[in-house]
Structure 1
Amino acid sequence: MTNQRPLTPFELAHFDRESQLGNVPKAEVALWIGTTVRGDLDLDTLREVLAELAASHALLHAVAVADGHGGMRFELLADYQPPLEVRTGAQDEYLRLINSTPDWSTGLFKAHVISDGDVHRVVIVVHHGICDGRSMFPLVGELWERYSAHRAGSPLPVSDSDSVLVDGVDAQLAGTVTEAEVDAFLEQLAFIVAAGDPNLVPLQLPFDSDGTADARGRFALHTIELSPEETATVVTAATAHGFSVNSLLSGAALAAVRSELDADAGPVMMLAGHAVDVRAELSPPLPGPTVLNCVGGVPTPVFAAADVDPVELAKMVEVGVRGAVEARFPALILRALVRGIDPVAAGMPVVLPTLGLSNIGRIPAYPVPDELELVRNFVYAKAPGMPPAMTMFTIGDRLTIQVEYDTVEHTHEQLGRVTEAMREQLRRLAGIEAR
């Protein structure tokens, strides 16, 4: 079994700022994810579980080191024990944590517990270069499954289903995306760019900050949490309109942002940047528990007037995303980008998306032992230069929407208004009282 391999170009872009792919910054982004629980949390058991997780997933006990030739390689560490830092505090302390910079030199997987009395935020952090949301949410589920098994006196064995240091997703896509297909794809994009209006560019949310970060750190968020009943209503509303929940939520989100754009009442172009999982493009498929960054992207343009109907925006999103996925855009653009192509030649927008959108979908409810009550779930990933974003996920039967932003560029007040506008869109679309 190999215990090291070079980083692929896609992975290197997440570790080296000089290797940026596309327009959205990727380097040195941390993925913070976890669960808030109430009750008696056993830290010794949690440490055992973290060690089991690291042992069960190859990249979770890896370190990235320079190879001396301008590249990097992953090396597996034997018996890696992810460090667990315990601190006291609540929301302000969590904000300080997600604004901190982890030391990745000793490992790419770490954990924190933030306690406020009997309320504990269990936070795991993984380097985005080795992991994405589709890996992280199941990883949290495995954490609680293993924790519950320990507390019940029946620890689960260490799994060997993710013990192989698999190649990066861009290298694996070479087995299903041919160079001829990439060539044809680039020709088509070049034709689209040449035929388009160079003056038609998507609007951005205006910067209204004074350029200084919030005292707790530059990255912030607002959260909308729906009850099981409200979540079911949103799903029913999407079904009634004939498109996906993702499209409905995206339409509502874009309508909410439209109210803050610096534009007259007429239609303007907006660009939604959708995160898309490309695992389905791999052959052979990855084993289900494999931790790996497999996220691609789909830029979806829409046109929105000040009084736009979010359902109409949702229809545009549905057509755009579905068409791009069916045309294999995420896999093709990812393979094209690792060639070092010029963004304009690739048909990529020369500006950032108006709004980043990441919908993880529905994840089974996490199993926690009887002595703990699950309060809420959370995830965060942000870097300087990233546009405002909404991350959406459903754990069990509860939908959560996070509005995420950079306070160096946008104030709490501005994104607070966007959050309230999103709540209002949910009320209108599904007849619910979003909190």
Structure 2
Amino acid sequence: MHRALCPVETLYVGQRSRAVLSCALHGQVDTGALSAAFDALTQAHPTLRSRIAPDGPGFALRLLAEDERPRLITRTGGEEVHLAELNAPLPVGGPLSRAVLVSAPEGDRHLFVLVVDHTITDGHSSIALHNAVWDHYRALVEGGETGGTAAATDATADAREDCGDRPHWPQPVSRLLPAADPAATAAYLERRVEETRRHPVELLPFDVPRPATAGAGPGAEPAGDGRIEVCRLALDEERTTRLRRTARQAGVSVHALVAAALLTAARRRLEGDGPRTLGCLSPVDLRSRLTPALPALLMVPAVTTHLQTLGVAADTDPMALARTVHSRLSDFIDRADQYHEMRITPEIPGNPALQLATVIVTNMGVVPGPRLPAGLRATDIRLVPAREHYFPQAGRSPVMACVVSFEGRLAIEFPHFTACFSPSFMQTFRDDVLAGLLTFADVTDPLPSPAR
């Protein structure tokens, strides 16, 4: 009862990255119903009650024993648990998901944290899973059928393998890509490698002194000091609406405006006034681009990336940057290069520059929050990526920005390791990005659309 990981999924085993969903709540929570809701989802999705195990030269997902499968953890505390969960790994060999409910002593304030290994999820499926848990919970406490979860489970059936009485493992997305000529994929890889050689990108230097130990990359020993913290940027609904308006008027995406603000802030941390080669890495969702489209709740990573390099000077116009980011990403998708990009993903360990960027800008778009029963409301929802290994010995790295709009309000999470970037560095960087976004949001004159 196992399912081999494909080469693309296997890369996540070494990266040890995870999605951390959290929801702050006000009201009464029935812990028994929430525990049952989480159990129902882990039962419906075997990847959530699996572990990673060696399988010949690679790895496989294997079901955990009944007494090992993840169960809802409950404890008393406050929002400090969010930071603790960011720093609590999902080790290889253990469960690939974790759910924690932390309740204040008075019992009317809670924090629900859902952690899922990126070997079995991406941003869209982790959000869908979080909302499905609360759909099931709502049905239980309201005394009705758990139709929301059942429908979501049934919707994944077409994308699963027929395994009889065995678990219905979801197929790896790499098996679902449209057919391609291997020679075309090889030519694409050759072109991408050559581009990285001709345009090596600059990374941001750490402001924390480098440890006096050897090694500077994934082959080196991870740092023992430091912890993951997260710096947050949040816009209210009005400013989010104004930012969207500017994007529409300029004919670009909000993602492009955010990327331009990040690239501009990054350029300010490099010396000189002339152009410097910066890289922008944008995840590209494949769920909606496959035929048939994959349900959001299918628990597999279904994302690839687009890397573009840009010459950014101290006086580069941020809107011009946004237009470039938008047009290049649009062209990438129009050419269907996202499929080639996923096919060459197994080559990344030998060519790490294929995904080396100055800024990594994820974007989940506008997503709904959980639907809760009467008497319970969500006061805050967050999605933060985290991982186990950071390498302060390297002296520099990309900056990660996780962008998501829950309930019409845009937020950007900046997770960072304190032995690399200090909290004060990230706060100043965050404030720079905020200033750039507010400049976009405050545009009042009509903007011409970019020429295509």
- Identify the TM-score tier after normalising by the shorter chain: 0.7 to 0.9
Q: Contact (CA 8 Å) 1:7, 1:74: kept in 2 or not?
A: yes
Could you tell me how far 1:315 is from its partner in structure 2? 1.0
**Aligned partner letter, 2:140:** H
1:338 aligned counterpart, secondary structure: helix
Tell me which of 255, 258, 265 is aligned to 1:246: 255
2:79 and 2:111 in contact (8 A); partners too: no
Contact kept in structure 1, 2:403 and 2:412, CA below 8 Å:
yes
1:161 aligned to which of 146, 149, 155? 155
Who is 1:218 aligned against? 227
Aligned to 2:100: 112
Change (3 A) 1:192 1:96: closer
Alpha carbons 2:277, 2:312 under 8 Å: kept: yes
Q: 1:37 corresponds to which residue? A: 25
Listed as ranges, the matches of 1:265-284 within 5 Å are 265-284=273-292
Partner letter of residue 418 of structure 1? Answer: F
Matches within 5 A, 1:62-211: 62-67=50-55, 69-76=56-63, 82-103=70-91, 105-117=93-105, 118-157=108-147, 158=150, 159-162=153-156, 164-173=168-177, 175-189=178-192, 192=195, 196=198, 200-211=199-210
Q: CA deviation at 1:77?
A: 5.1
Distance 2:123 2:335 in 1: 23
Q: Is contact 2:257-2:319 (8 Å) kept?
A: yes
CA contact (8 A) 2:156 2:294 kept: no
1:262-286 residue CA offsets vs partner (Å, 9 max, x unmatched): x112221111111111234434432
SS in 1 for 2:428: helix
Residues 25-46 of structure 1 deviation map (CA, whole Å, 9 limit, x = unaligned): xx22222112111121221111
Q: Which of 382, 386, 395 pairs up with 1:382?
A: 386
- For residue 363 of structure 2, the aligned residue among 348, 359, 364 is 359
- Residues 95, 216 of structure 1: 8 Å contact kept: no
Change (3 A) 1:209 1:92: farther
Q: Distance in 1 between matches of 2:349 and 2:369?
A: 42
Secondary structure in 1 aligned to 2:378? strand
Structure 1 pair 53/105, CA: closer, same or farther in 2 (3 Å)? same
Given residue 5 of structure 1, which amino acid in structure 2 is its aligned partner? Answer: R
Tell me the CA shift for residue 103 of structure 1.
4.3
Q: Which amino acid aligns with 2:127?
A: F
User: How much identity, in percent, do the aligned residues show?
Assistant: 24
CA contact (8 A) 1:228 1:398 kept: yes
The alpha-carbon distance between structure 1 residues 363 and 340, as it changes in their structure 2 partners (threshold 3 A), is closer
Deviation of the 1:78 alpha carbon: 7.6
CA distance in 2, matches of 1:162, 1:406: 36
Amino acid of the residue matched to residue 154 of structure 2?
A: D
Shift of 1:382: 2.5
CA distance in 2, matches of 1:389, 1:269: 18
Question: 251, 255, 268: which is aligned to 2:264?
Answer: 255
Structure 1 letter corresponding to 2:73? E
- Within 5 Å, which residues of 2 pair with 1:391-430? 391-430=402-441
Cα distance, 1:149–1:241 mapped onto 2, change above 3 Å: same
Measure, in 2, the Cα distance between the counterparts of 1:182 and 1:273.
20
1:98 partner amino acid:
L
User: What is the distance in 2 between the residues matched to 1:429 and 1:176?
Assistant: 41
Letter in 1 for 2:38: L
8 A Cα contact 2:385 2:402, kept in partner: no
Instruction: Render the CA deviation track for 1:176-203: whole Å, top value 9, x for unaligned.
Output: 3331321232344466567x3xxx5322
**1:340 Cα deviation after fit:** 7.4
One-letter amino acid matched to 1:268: R
Q: Is the CA contact 2:227–2:418 (under 8 Å) kept in the aligned structure 1?
A: yes
Q: Distance in 2 between matches of 1:81 and 1:341?
A: 32
Distance in 1 separating the partners of 2:39 and 2:373: 19
Contact 1:56/1:162 (8 A) holds in 2: no
Which of 229, 243, 250 lines up with 2:238 in the alignment?
229
Alpha-carbon distance between aligned partners in 2 of 1:113 and 1:137, rounded to the nearest angstrom: 17
2:347, 2:364 → 1: CA distance?
28
Cα distance in structure 1, aligned partners of 2:423 and 2:179: 44
SS of aligned partner of 1:356: strand
> How many residue pairs align between the two structures?
409
Alignment partners' CA distance in 1, 2:323 and 2:315: 16
In the TM superposition, residue 309 of structure 1 has moved relative to its aligned partner by 2.4
Distance 1:404 1:309, change over 3 A: farther
The answer as to whether partners of 1:209 and 1:408 remain within 8 angstroms in 2 is yes
- Matched-pair contact (CA < 8 Å) for 2:138–2:371: yes
* Cα RMSD, aligned residues only: 2.7
Q: Which runs of 5+ in 2 are unaligned?
A: 158-167, 212-221, 392-396, 444-452
TM-score normalised by L of structure 2 = 0.83
Judging changes above 3 Å, is the alpha-carbon distance between structure 1 residues 413 and 215 closer, same or farther for their aligned structure 2 residues? farther
Give the Å deviation of 1:139.
1.2
